[in-house]
């Protein structure tokens, strides 16, 4: 149904940007509903974040069984081999989706969207790509994920380095072997922890540049046996159902009790149980006051700290990696899942530089020079320095609204986005997994389905009512931001400089970039707006 206009302009009902979980879900659903729809994808294959982040060790931090779509015809003949699948296997899952859904025929790969303007006469977005393509679409649906704009810190001399230097999210597709090399890793977030575990094993020498310790949790990785697979298959319908009724789209939730109300023995027993289960249970499956009450949070931190310190032989190193005083409240920066992260610092080939105390002054042709004058000579620098998260993917596109304002200028002092899906002045641009939606607080495939259905309902609402455009009012945008502020204020999240709050990017406005009320509340808010004929939106 796609029509070529003027031999060069592709005219579509819906243009999706990005071929990860959200884009694939939208394409399949919208195509079945009869829309002309395509995905433009900057990478050369499906996978979204799993295409770009192919660094050694990249791995899912959600249990595999619920890191997939819940449609029975898609899960019956699919299984991940490990409890927490690695990036290669997630790519195989996308091959499985391709096999089942025939997605690629409607994807333009190696096609990067550089900007779009709204044509108010024809109620269409006019979308430009870096290779000179133009498309016109009624709806523009960015499916960019929350981590599509890597953050490269402004370190003097970075370009002068003579070895190999890569950000984890722009990792060479052909791979990079650390064996026998001197490797530096800057950053100890989830990407850093994962790449450090690989480099510690393979590199001749590894130097980790840590600014803030990662309060990482045990993954308890496991290769799944045929018996495990059988049990998983039998439990899948229930687990998919459970995702809908939890805070973060997982199949577990906070305990209904408060840590501060329990005896030390009871409290510790609860922590121990979550710790032994592994993964995010110790974060999103412990006491409900953990992320609100400083006293409760102190208990969680003390438990974590004592577990971790017991694994580190050198006390000075333990003070850096798991300090006696919490560097920030536990769990308000996203914890990573680790396998041998703290043990590897006991190896002779691994060194830690605390850049909070001894900052990086410059990158030199031969390595990294710190404030104390030491030059750390290395062959490879890994920038595990994170992302301009949640909003950065959208603001890096040159999206121009109806009054000629660029989206990035509109949001320069802070984001307002009604229901975390649209913003005033940008009609028919509905974003998934974006700012002020559950996004970074929600399991990706869960959100691709649940929020994905909301997007589809909105498109259907406009189309079936014979209208041409939908956009929120500025008041609705502001009211949603106010709601998000009221939800985040009583929590401990504002106390850390995290990407959740936009605080990892110099100059970025500090605010909760994600919807902090949980998936249940988010879905209720959407349903309320929908029931009131899409309250807060103008459909014209």
**Residue among 67 and 426 whose Cβ is closer to ligand N01:** 67
Q: What is the closest distance, in whole angstroms, from the C-beta atom of residue 320 to ligand N01 in the complex?
A: 13
Residue 190 parent element (H or E): helix 190-202
Q: How far is the CB of 199 from ligand N01 (least distance, A)?
A: 14
Q: Which residues bind ligand N01 (CB under 6 A)?
A: 59-61, 147, 153, 168, 186-192, 194, 209, 211-212, 334, 355, 384-387, 497, 499, 504
- Determine how β-strand 9-17 pairs with β-strand 3-5: antiparallel
181 versus 211: smaller Cβ distance to ligand N01: 211
Query: Minimal CA–CA distance to 434: which of 403, 397, 384?
Result: 397
Measured from the CB atom, the residue of 425 and 445 that comes closer to ligand N01 is: 445
Using DSSP bridges, classify how beta strands 470-472 and 537-539 pair: parallel, antiparallel or unpaired.
antiparallel
Closer of 93 and 426 to ligand N01 (Cβ): 93
Angle at which helices 264-277 and 294-309 cross, to 10°: 60
CB nearer ligand N01, residue 61 or residue 253 = 61
Nearer to ligand N01, 209 or 534 (CB): 209
CB of 374 to ligand N01, least distance (A): 16
Angstrom distances, CA of residue 87 to CA of 39, 59, 285, 338: 22, 5, 25, 15
Phi, psi of 520 (to 5 degrees): -65, -50
Name 382's bridge partners.
Answer: 166, 185
Q: How far is the CB of 191 from ligand N01 (least distance, A)?
A: 3
Q: Nearest-CA neighbor of 519 among 452, 457, 442, 455?
A: 442
Contact 150, 143 (CB under 8 A): no
Q: How far is the CB of 256 from ligand N01 (least distance, A)?
A: 26
For the stretch 317-326, what's the b/e string if a residue is b when 16 or more beta carbons lie within 10 angstroms of its beta carbon? bbebbbeeeb
CA 449-453-455 angle, to 5 degrees, is 120
**Residue closer to ligand N01, measured from CB, 57 or 536:** 57
- State the DSSP H helix or E strand holding residue 70, giving kind and residue range, or none if neither: none
Q: State in angstroms the smallest separation of the CB of 168 from ligand N01.
A: 6
Bridge pairing between strands 360-364 and 367-370 = antiparallel
Phi-psi region of 374 (alpha: psi -120 to 50; beta: other; left: phi over 0): beta
Least distance (Å) between residue 166 CB and ligand N01: 13
What are phi and psi for residue 78, nearest 5 degrees? -130, 135
Secondary structure class of 501 (helix, strand, coil) = helix
State the minimum distance, in angstroms, from the CB of residue 147 to ligand N01. Answer: 5
Q: Which residue is nearest to ligand N01 (CB)?
A: 189
Ramachandran class of 145: left when φ > 0, alpha when ψ lies in -120 to 50, beta otherwise:
left
Nearest alpha carbon to residue 52 among 41, 62, 43: 43
CB of 458 to ligand N01, least distance (A): 27
Nearer to ligand N01, 220 or 497 (CB): 497
The nearest distance, CB 384 to ligand N01, in angstroms, is 5
Q: Which is nearer to ligand N01, 163 or 327 (CB)?
A: 327
CB closer to ligand N01, 335 vs 401: 335
């Amino acid at each position: 149904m796609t029509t070529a206009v003027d031999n060069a302009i592709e005219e579509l009902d819906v243009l999706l940007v990005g071929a990860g979980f959200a884009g694939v879900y939208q394409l399949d659903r919208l195509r079945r509903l009869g829309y002309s729809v395509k995905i433009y994808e900057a990478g050369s294959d499906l996978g979204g974040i799993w295409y770009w982040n192919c660094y050694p060790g990249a791995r899912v931090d959600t249990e595999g069984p619920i890191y997939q779509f819940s449609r029975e015809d898609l899960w019956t003949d699919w299984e991940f081999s490990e409890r927490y699948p690695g990036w290669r296997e997630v790519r195989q899952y996308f091959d499985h989706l391709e096999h089942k859904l025939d997605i690629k025929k409607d994807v333009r790969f190696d096609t990067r969207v550089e900007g779009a303007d709204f044509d108010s006469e024809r109620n269409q977005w006019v979308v430009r790509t870096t290779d000179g393509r133009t498309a016109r679409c009624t709806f523009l649906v960015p499916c960019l994920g929350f981590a599509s704009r890597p953050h490269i810190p402004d370190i003097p001399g970075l370009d002068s380095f003579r070895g190999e230097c890569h950000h984890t999210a722009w990792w060479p597709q052909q791979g990079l072997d650390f064996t026998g090399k001197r490797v530096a890793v800057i950053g100890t977030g989830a990407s850093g922890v994962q790449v450090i575990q690989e480099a510690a094993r393979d590199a001749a020498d590894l130097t980790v540049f840590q600014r803030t310790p990662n309060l990482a949790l045990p993954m308890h990785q496991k290769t799944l046996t045929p018996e495990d697979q059988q049990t998983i298959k039998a439990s899948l319908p229930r687990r998919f159902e459970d995702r809908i009724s939890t805070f973060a789209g997982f199949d577990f939730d906070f305990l209904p009790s408060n840590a501060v109300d329990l005896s030390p023995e009871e409290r510790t027993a609860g922590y121990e149980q979550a710790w032994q289960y592994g993964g995010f249970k110790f974060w999103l499956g412990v006491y409900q006051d953990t992320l609100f009450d400083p006293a409760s949070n102190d208990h969680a931190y003390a438990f974590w700290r004592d577990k971790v310190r017991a694994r580190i032989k050198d006390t000075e190193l333990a003070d850096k990696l798991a300090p006696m005083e919490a560097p920030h409240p536990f769990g308000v920066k996203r914890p990573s899942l680790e396998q041998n992260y703290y043990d590897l610092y006991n190896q002779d080939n691994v060194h830690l530089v605390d850049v909070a105390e001894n900052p990086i002054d410059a990158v030199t042709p031969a390595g990294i020079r710190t404030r104390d004058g030491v030059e750390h000579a290395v062959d490879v620098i890994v920038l595990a320095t994170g992302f301009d998260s949640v909003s950065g993917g959208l603001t890096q596109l040159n999206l121009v609204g109806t009054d000629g304002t660029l989206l990035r200028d509109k949001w320069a002092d802070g984001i307002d986005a009604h229901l975390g899906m649209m913003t005033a002045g940008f009609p028919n641009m509905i974003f998934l997994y974006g700012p002020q939606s559950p996004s970074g607080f929600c399991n990706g495939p869960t959100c691709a389905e649940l929020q994905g259905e909301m997007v589809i309902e909105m498109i259907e609402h406009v189309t079936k009512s014979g209208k041409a455009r939908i956009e929120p009012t500025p008041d609705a945008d502001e009211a949603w931001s106010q709601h998000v502020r009221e939800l985040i204020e009583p929590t401990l999240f504002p106390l850390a400089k995290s990407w959740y709050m936009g605080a990892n990017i110099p100059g970025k406005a500090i605010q909760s970039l994600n919807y902090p009320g949980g998936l249940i509340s988010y879905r209720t808010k959407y349903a309320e707006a929908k029931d009131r004929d899409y309250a807060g939106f103008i459909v014209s």
